[in-house]
């Protein structure tokens, strides 16, 4: 199985410091849906791993997160693509859970669910916590400069071997060529 793990906010869709709290606020980064479709057509199983502390903060309900992901899937289907599964951490950082990135729990759950070794699996994110989480499970950290990516790059401290691309489209192009 060719698996790829994507962060959501800042990678697939525009991010917001006030959180994405409704389907109406969810807007794809140009080219991201087509990039996911390209991954699907190249034989990749695409999964999303996303911190969603807005739930733990009481900013939105689980039903809203589901509606946001349904919108993503519907728009993605129109582009010829699909996300196989969504993994999320609803906890706030102060709970110190094992599933919130940069901890590896969410990625370990993906490995368990799909019965795969994450060694070398591409994991694309826009923040240091995405990359550190990937590194902890032996996945291949890839930074995109959309969302918080440019600031993440400027702050430094990236895991050794992190690849950097302008956006999801450029990262996908490098993977499928």
Crossing angle (nearest 10°) for helices 32-41 and 62-78: 70
Active site residues: 7, 9
Q: Give every CB contact of residue 35 below 8 A, 6+ residues apart in sequence.
A: 167, 168, 169, 171, 172, 173
DSSP state of 13: B
Closest CA to 52 of 110, 95, 104, 92: 92
Dihedral angle sign, alpha carbons of residues 154, 166, 5, 32: positive
Alpha-carbon distance of 91 to 57, in angstroms, equals 8
């Amino acid at each position: 199985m060719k698996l790829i793990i994507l962060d959501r906010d800042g990678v697939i869709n525009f991010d917001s410091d006030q959180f994405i709290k409704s389907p109406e606020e969810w807007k794809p980064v140009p080219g991201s849906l087509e990039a996911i479709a390209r991954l699907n057509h190249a034989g990749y199983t695409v999964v999303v791993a996303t911190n969603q502390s807005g739930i733990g903060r009481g900013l939105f309900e689980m039903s809203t997160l589901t509606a946001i992901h349904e919108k993503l899937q519907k728009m993605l289907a129109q582009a010829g693509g699909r996300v196989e599964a969504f993994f999320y951490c609803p906890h706030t950082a102060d709970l110190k859970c094992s599933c919130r990135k940069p901890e590896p729990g969410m990625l370990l759950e993906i490995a368990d669910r799909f019965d795969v070794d994450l060694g070398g699996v591409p994991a694309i994110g826009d923040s240091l916590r995405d990359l550190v989480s990937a590194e902890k499970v032996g996945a291949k950290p890839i930074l995109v400069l959309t969302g918080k990516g440019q600031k993440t790059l400027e702050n430094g401290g990236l895991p050794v071997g992190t690849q950097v691309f302008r956006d999801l489209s450029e990262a996908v192009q490098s993977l499928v060529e």
